[in-house]
């Protein structure tokens, strides 16, 4: 009788088709093998082992991964693809005579440099539309780990040294992408703050510091934007691997923050399948037959309770029913790339930072410009690794300036045309022979100092620009000597151009087309103006020309500190020092393939967060350490005044308002940053902590506007007495940057 009953059940179950309303029934109908297939990603190896032919390179389109289909119950496979600066899929497909390019947007650091959550959301919407129209379901972005140290190879993908700026940027991005009906995967949860030995490095950090800094931006974004998924990091936290960390994934993420989505590992992250599932990490990506077999075995031998497996399967099905693949959305494969290119250009310009302004800019319309520096002709649009985008083109500075109507000094232009051609051939030869070492930086043109060309240009050109380029990427951290510091040739070029042009009363601009913080102190006196454009995406040259020409007034602000020298950084002693000039792939530095996790070499196997809360500007401002440029700093072609500062107690916090007036000659935007300032007596607390910010719209000369920022009391716990009032000596101060001098106090 039972066998008949069971077989009736199976037949009935066989007729179930997944909907948003019958997930518990579908979970009951799944066999153990089917449940495990849903947990384990659907890499080609997995597909072959499962006898499926559905997923292949063409379907995956060069995406990062997928989930397994279970056709019997109407469960489709969903597609997961990178990345933070644009969708990453293969631009060519066999049998297709068209391309599938995606827009190369500005890197995360440039988006956060805009301090403009509206434009970050617009970038998210455009990127999300490409995810939708190219048939992908989840965008593996944003990357939100803090810039703990300037040399982390993936800082370009990340937003800031401050969790409030990072969290607000992430929330805006996620809301933008998910407004298109596709999902995101906020990453890497958590403390993935270095690439060296990333697969097994153990981050040793005080729990309070972890919560106030390294988890905070994730919390802000979860509470504000509910990313459909979160990706755990490769590293350990206080001895427990992120993907196996029940405290992190179940107690904090879901229990305290109310996260409703699914969690996936990073690609190849984690070690023990049963521990991963029981911790609340739902998917193991990109999957593989070994993971599949180990999970089946773990359930059968009791190591993995079926209840834990069912919880993960339930969350995966709850995710799947939200996706375009489940909705059978008929994607067009033709997103509006032209329109998105314009959004990329405007977002890049919005984040570009004017660091020094001594009269070189804006350039005189139609003037003759001498453009030096190899990066001017081979602009760096983005970083390498999974954060790269297969974009249709990159506009370099030369093209941007020509497009903006400037004359390119003939002698200089001719020199670089020939030189770059020779260098291109030399570099291509080297780059063709990387032997699969994806993580090695491409060889780039060597910097030279064409003295005679410089001398000639000083007499014929009106102004000069020197571009310094720096790239970085996943899988390695940056070297001080070979990446953070400028080379002798680069410093020599800046000095030579500066001397030649200053000799005839002309000015020069240095443009930083860089992946992260570089040394400025060594050469800053030679530059009249300094512009920081980070890695600005495919429209980079046009966006920079919009700023240099004055068509757009720079309004970016630094999302991190530029120290006087690298050794001033508070994490200097607790970060790996890369001495090689061609960093090899440190990701696997100590994973010797024997499965043994070692935690005995400082800054390689383990990294001690000894600086505690005093990281970034929290350190420099509290300890009175002078910096080259402070967090939150940035100049404008116009000037602003602030007054009528008000702090109004409201439900749950305060409204801080500031009246901002454009007191200069040209239209511009300003940023009001609100810091919680501690009394000197509170030695265990940073002197300044960003608690909110607001950016004006474009203000015409003489125009004013009021910026109002709500500061939650929950963000200011250290400053509150038992009755919820702010303790004596504590205050909320609006300022132009994190440095000590406050512009105007509240109430004045």
Q: Following DSSP, what letter does each residue of 461-517 receive, concatenated? A: -SEEEEEEE---BTT-PPPIIIIISPPHHHHHHHHHHHHHHHHTT--EEEEEE-SS-
152 to 211, contacts with ligand GLC by CB under 6 A?
187
CA distance linking residue 660 with residue 178, whole number of Å: 33
Q: Is 619 in the site for ligand GLC (CB under 6 A)?
A: no
Residue 585 vs 705, nearer CB to ligand GLC: 585
CB of 404 to ligand GLC, least distance (A): 35
Tally of CB atoms within 10 A around 715: 19
Contact present, 295 and 274 (Cβ < 8 Å):
yes
Residue 66 vs 119, nearer CB to ligand GLC: 66
Residue 232 vs 409, nearer CB to ligand GLC: 232
Contact present, 284 and 267 (Cβ < 8 Å):
no
45 to 74, contacts with ligand GLC by CB under 6 A?
64
Pairing outcome for strands 229-232 and 606-608: unpaired
Binding mask 12-51 for ligand GLC (x = CB under 6 A): ----------------------------------------
**Closest alpha carbon to 242 in 232, 252, 251, 250:** 232
Number of residues counted as binding ligand GLC (CB under 6 A): 7
CB of 88 to ligand GLC, least distance (A): 8
Q: Following DSSP, what letter does each residue of 362-415 receive, concatenated? A: SPPTT-EEEEESGGGTS---S-BSTT----S----HHHHHHHTTPEEPHHHHHH
Residue 64 vs 497, nearer CB to ligand GLC: 64
> Which of 266, 413, 670, 737 does the annotation list as catalytic?
266
CB of 266 to ligand GLC, least distance (A): 5
CA distance linking residue 268 with residue 386, whole number of Å: 14
CB of 383 to ligand GLC, least distance (A): 12
Q: Is 477 in the site for ligand GLC (CB under 6 A)?
A: no
CB of 148 to ligand GLC, least distance (A): 17
Q: Which of 131, 140, 497, 627 is in the footprint of ligand GLC by CB under 6 A?
A: 140
CA distance linking residue 173 with residue 112, whole number of Å: 10
Residue 229 vs 374, nearer CB to ligand GLC: 229
CA distance linking residue 675 with residue 27, whole number of Å: 49
355 to 414, contacts with ligand GLC by CB under 6 A?
386
Q: Is 266 in the site for ligand GLC (CB under 6 A)?
A: yes
Instruction: List alpha helices for 108-162, DSSP H.
Output: 108-112, 117-133
**Closest alpha carbon to 229 in 269, 195, 188, 267:** 188
Residue 83 carries which DSSP code? -
CB of 187 to ligand GLC, least distance (A): 5
Identify whether 266 is a catalytic site residue. yes
Residue 388 vs 463, nearer CB to ligand GLC: 388
Residue 230 vs 348, nearer CB to ligand GLC: 230
Q: Is 267 in the site for ligand GLC (CB under 6 A)?
A: yes
Q: Long-range pairs for 17-20 at CB < 8 Å and ≥24 separation?
A: 17/73, 17/74, 18/73, 18/74, 18/75, 18/317, 18/320, 18/321, 18/326, 19/321, 20/321
CB of 84 to ligand GLC, least distance (A): 8
Q: Is 79 in the site for ligand GLC (CB under 6 A)?
A: no
Q: Is 82 in the site for ligand GLC (CB under 6 A)?
A: yes
The site for ligand GLC (CB under 6 A) is made up of 64, 82, 140, 187, 266-267, 386
Catalytic positions, written as ranges: 266
């Amino acid at each position: 009788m039972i066998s008949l009953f069971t077989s009736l059940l199976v037949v009935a179950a066989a007729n179930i088709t997944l909907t948003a309303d019958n997930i518990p029934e579908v979970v009951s109908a799944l066999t153990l093998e089917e449940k495990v297939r849903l947990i384990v990603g659907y890499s080609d190896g997995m597909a072959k082992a499962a006898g499926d032919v559905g997923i292949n390179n063409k379907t995956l389109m060069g995406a990062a991964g997928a989930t397994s289909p279970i056709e019997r119950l109407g469960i489709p496979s969903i597609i997961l693809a990178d990345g933070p600066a644009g969708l990453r899929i293969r631009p060519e497909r066999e049998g297709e005579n068209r391309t599938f390019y995606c827009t190369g947007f500005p890197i995360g650091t440039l988006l956060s440099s805009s301090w403009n959550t509206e434009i970050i959301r617009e970038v998210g919407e455009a990127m999300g539309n490409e995810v939708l129209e190219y048939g992908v379901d989840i965008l593996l972005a944003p990357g939100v780990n803090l810039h703990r140290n300037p040399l982390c190879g993936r800082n370009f993908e990340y937003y800031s040294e401050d969790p409030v700026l990072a969290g607000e940027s992430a929330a805006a991005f996620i809301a933008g992408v998910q407004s298109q009906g596709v999902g995101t995967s906020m990453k890497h949860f958590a403390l993935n703050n270095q690439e060296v030995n990333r697969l097994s490095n153990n981050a040793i950090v005080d729990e309070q510091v972890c919560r106030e800094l390294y988890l905070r931006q994730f919390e802000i974004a979860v509470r504000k934007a509910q990313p459909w998924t979160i990706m755990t990091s490769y590293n350990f936290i206080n001895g427990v691997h992120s993907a196996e960390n029940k405290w992190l994934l179940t107690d904090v993420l879901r229990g305290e923050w109310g996260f409703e989505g699914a969690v996936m590992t990073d690609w190849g992250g984690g070690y023990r399948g049963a521990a991963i599932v029981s911790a609340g990490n739902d998917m193991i990506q990109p999957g593989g037959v070994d993971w599949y077999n180990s999970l089946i075995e773990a359930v059968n031998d009791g190591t993995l309770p079926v209840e834990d497996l069912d919880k993960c399967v339930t969350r995966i099905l709850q995710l799947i029913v939200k996706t375009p693949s489940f909705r059978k959305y008929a994607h067009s494969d033709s997103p509006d790339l032209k329109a998105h290119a314009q959004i990329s250009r405007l977002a890049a310009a919005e984040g570009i930072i004017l660091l020094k302004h001594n009269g070189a800019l804006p350039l005189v319309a139609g003037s003759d410009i001498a453009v030096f520096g190899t990066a001017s002709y081979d602009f760096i649009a983005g970083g390498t690794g999974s954060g790269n985008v297969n974009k249709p083109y990159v506009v370099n500075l030369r093209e941007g300036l020509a497009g903006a109507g400037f004359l390119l000094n003939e002698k200089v232009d001719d020199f670089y045309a020939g030189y770059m051609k020779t260098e291109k051939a030399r570099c291509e030869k080297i780059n063709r022979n990387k032997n699969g070492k994806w993580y090695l930086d491409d060889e780039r043109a060597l910097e030279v100092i064409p003295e005679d060309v410089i001398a000639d240009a000083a007499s014929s050109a009106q102004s000069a620009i020197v571009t310094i380029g720096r790239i970085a990427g996943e899988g390695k951290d940056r070297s001080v000597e070979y990446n953070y510091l400028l080379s002798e040739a680069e410093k020599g070029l800046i000095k030579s151009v500066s001397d030649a042009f200053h000799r005839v009363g002309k000015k020069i601009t240095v443009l930083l087309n860089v992946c992260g913080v570089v040394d400025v102190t060594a050469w800053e006196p030679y530059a009249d103006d300094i512009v920081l454009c980070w890695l600005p995406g495919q429209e980079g040259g046009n966006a920079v020309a919009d700023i240099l020409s004055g068509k757009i007034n720079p309004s970016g602000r630094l999302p991190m500190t530029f120290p006087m020298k690298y050794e001033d950084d508070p994490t200097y002693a607790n970060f790996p020092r890369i001495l090689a000039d061609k960093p090899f792939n440190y990701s696997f530095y100590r994973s010797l393939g024997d499965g043994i996790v070692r935690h005995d070499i400082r800054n390689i196997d383990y990294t001690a967060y000894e600086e505690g809360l005093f990281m970034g500007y929290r350190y420099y401002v509290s300890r009175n350490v002078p910096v080259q440029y402070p967090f939150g700093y940035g100049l404008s072609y116009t000037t602003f005044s602030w007054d009528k500062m008000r702090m109004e107690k409201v439900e749950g916090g305060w409204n801080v308002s500031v009246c901002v007036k454009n007191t200069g000659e040209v239209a511009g935007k300003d940023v009001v940053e609100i810091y919680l300032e501690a009394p000197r007596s509170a030695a265990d607390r940073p002197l300044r902590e960003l608690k909110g910010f607001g950016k004006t719209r474009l203000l015409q000369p003489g125009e004013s506007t009021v910026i109002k920022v709500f500061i939650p009391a929950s963000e200011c716990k250290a400053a509150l007495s038992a009755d919820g009032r702010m303790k004596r000596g504590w205050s909320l101060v609006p300022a132009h940057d994190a440095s000590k001098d406050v512009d105007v106090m509240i109430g004045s």
